[in-house]
Chain A
Amino acid sequence: MLSRFYLSLLLLSGLVFIAFITLATYRELTPEWKKYQAEYREMLIKNAKDEAAREKARRIKIEQQQIYLAGLKRVDRCMNCHIGVDNPLMADAKVPFKQHSGDYLKNHPPDKFGCTICHNGQGRATNKKEAHGKGRDTHWDFPILPFKYIQNSCAQCHDYETLRHKGGEMVVKGERLFREKGCKGCHKVNGIGGDLGKALDGIGSQPIAYFPMRHVVGEQTTYNWLKQHYLDPRAIVPDSEMRVFLTEEESDLLTTYILTFRTTEVPREYRRIRYVPERRVDGESLYKMYCIACHSTGKVSVYDEILKRTIPAIMNPAFLKNADDGTLRKIIKEGRKGTQMTAWKSTAAGLTDGEINKLIRYITRERPDEAAEPFGFAEFKTDPKHGKELYDVRCALCHGEKGKGGKGALGINLTNPVVQKELDPEFLARTVRDGRSGTPMPPFGEEGLGLSDQDIADIVSYVRTLAQKK
């Protein structure tokens, strides 16, 4: 006689086990994709032109489809559902049976390229949600690309000349925007560019967690982050200093282009990049590439709410009249510590001396012919004390009592190292005397504002001591 208790326990557990192993087997044998493949087969049988074709369709096996791509290190199982993708009979069928649009597959046969190399998504997955990789709960960093951004995938293998004429125009236009909106003024690419923003190398291959998704509207994807961030940087990253002004359409173009910055490189046998001679870069393109984001036209200097400081008008004739090439070169090469102006020398932001010269030539193209009247600072015997008295009355209003400028102040910060050490006092004295047209800085040497050359020299000598006074 066996214990009824343990027998019942055994029976009950056994029945539960059998029930669930049956359920599990059923679940295993009826995946989503089998339904699609069965439907596809039915369609082929129904639409077969002759008996032979019908017989052929009947013999189609319903089985796991897989494209193994050793070279690309990918495994794509998309054709489990998108089974008619290379079948011309399916040109008008509904998704997922539809044939691939256009004639892309002619040169990109799926058994060599697979699907995800262009479309992204999770090739290994075998159900719709996880294969498309949408939603953070799928834990997949590269969800299927919307068609409007898909051209970025072409740039993995094709050069811009090909793209321009053969369906990659969004990448080409985006690249142009990238060049002309001064993105590299703040972002390094391949080691060249400013330091204010993050380097952009490999940004298209970054996982979603790299991007602060908190304020993104809609799906939390890399491309949504990029686009919304171009439309309004501070809506996505509250303390961003990014100065970017793009239309909706331009944002899409730039997003497409930025997504081409990938860390993964496809094998050489896939690439079709012809040798393209390096673009001749003139001063204007350099200005657009590196400077325009902050200095815009360079004609007027205005207080910028984003950078919290006055951006100097570097192409203003009055400034150029005063600033000789040496001064400009010094400023560009060393940058201005304490401001957003990066040091552009080759060891920092990465511009060569030649490029800097080209830039200077471009900036100074409207420099007035006659040079500024020399001030002769060195000949004056200066009195900083008298300078301070004058400074407090005449200058402190705009530049602040300690010379630090500050929020809402019209004048620039005078305590920065460039003003304090690197610039010639002669340059400062001339600026005080002649003012800076296009900015609020008036010419103090003119009659009416009434500072004598001796006064100006005293003020300049006082200003040069500002950094020491803590």
Chain B
Amino acid sequence: MSSETLDKEGVTRRDFLGLAAFGAAIFSALSVIAGTLRIFKPNVHYEESKKFKIGKPENFPEGTVRKIDERNLFIFSDSDGIYAITAVCQHLGCIVYTTEWGFQCPCHGSKYDKEGNVIGGPAPRGLPWFEITQNVDGTLVVNAGKEVPKGTKYIFA
């Protein structure tokens, strides 16, 4: 209004007030949006432990393959020891099956050799191997959260 004195060089006091006020409003809006997006990210997962028992070593005699269906996992046992390979295809998460030359995924045709290395199809990486440990009472425990290098086989008493 007429009483307002304009500072020709820069901003008036009122302009500063306006800038600050709208600045605060915009900052507030941004913080609300950021907080809202953060709320969508869950802090905890309602999933059971990635470690699970699979039984005693004698349940896995040499030369056998067993599929643990509820965990999507193959347990192999050969002369070098016991090892665990996932049954989840690394392309888009289908479940592979064993063939005489390795693993075959039914969905998009990924092929893996017996070690789980990719030999065909779209899969970007080989099937991971998981760590196996033994409890004090002798049961074997697979940790599907921990990968080990391919070829790591365990020998248990």
Contacts and interface: CB of A to CB of B under 8 A. Distances in A.
Q: Is A in direct contact with B (CB under 8 Å) within the complex?
A: yes
Interface of A: 1-2, 4, 7-8, 10-11, 14-15, 17-18, 21, 25, 64, 66-70, 75, 77, 106-107, 111-112
Contacts of A7: 14, 17-18, 21
Interface in B63-84: none
Contact of A18 (B17, B31, B48, B51): B31
A10 B22 CA distance: 8
Contacts of B24: 10-11, 14-15, 17-18
Given A11-B24, A69-B48, 12 more contacts: A1-B4, A2-B18, A7-B17, A8-B21, A10-B22, A17-B28, A18-B27, A18-B31, A64-B44, A68-B49, A106-B137, A111-B49
A330 B58 CA distance: 64
A270 B44 CA distance: 25
Contacts of A69: 48
24 contacts: A2-B14, A2-B18, A4-B14, A4-B17, A7-B21, A10-B25, A11-B17, A11-B21, A11-B24, A14-B24, A14-B25, A15-B24, A17-B24, A17-B28, A18-B28, A21-B32, A64-B43, A64-B44, A66-B45, A68-B44, A68-B47, A75-B44, A77-B44, A106-B136
Given A7-B14, A7-B21, A21-B35, A68 B28 contact: no
A5 B4 CA distance: 15
B46 interface: yes
A106 B43 CA distance: 29
Contacts of A68: 44-49
Contacts of A25: 35
Interface of B: 1, 4, 14, 17-18, 20-25, 27-28, 31-32, 35, 43-49, 51, 136-137
Nearest to A17: B28
Contacts of A111: 49, 51
Contacts of B23: 14
Nearest to A65: B44
B48 A70 contact: yes
A67 B35 contact: no
B5 to A, nearest CB: 12
A14 B14 contact: no
B110 to A, nearest CB: 31
Contacts of A75: 44, 46
A11 B23 CA distance: 8
A75 B25 CA distance: 40
Looking at B4, B14, B20, B44, which has the most chain A CB atoms within 10 Å of its CB?
Answer: B44
B78 to A, nearest CB: 29
Contacts of B45: 66, 68
A17 B28 CA distance: 7
Contacts of B43: 64
Given A2-B14, A18-B28, A67 B21 contact: no
B17 A8 contact: yes
A342 B62 CA distance: 68
Looking at B21, B25, B32, B48, which has the most chain A CB atoms within 10 Å of its CB?
Answer: B21
B4 to A, nearest CB: 6
Contacts of A107: 137
Looking at B1, B28, B46, which has the most chain A CB atoms within 10 Å of its CB?
Answer: B28
Contacts of B137: 106-107
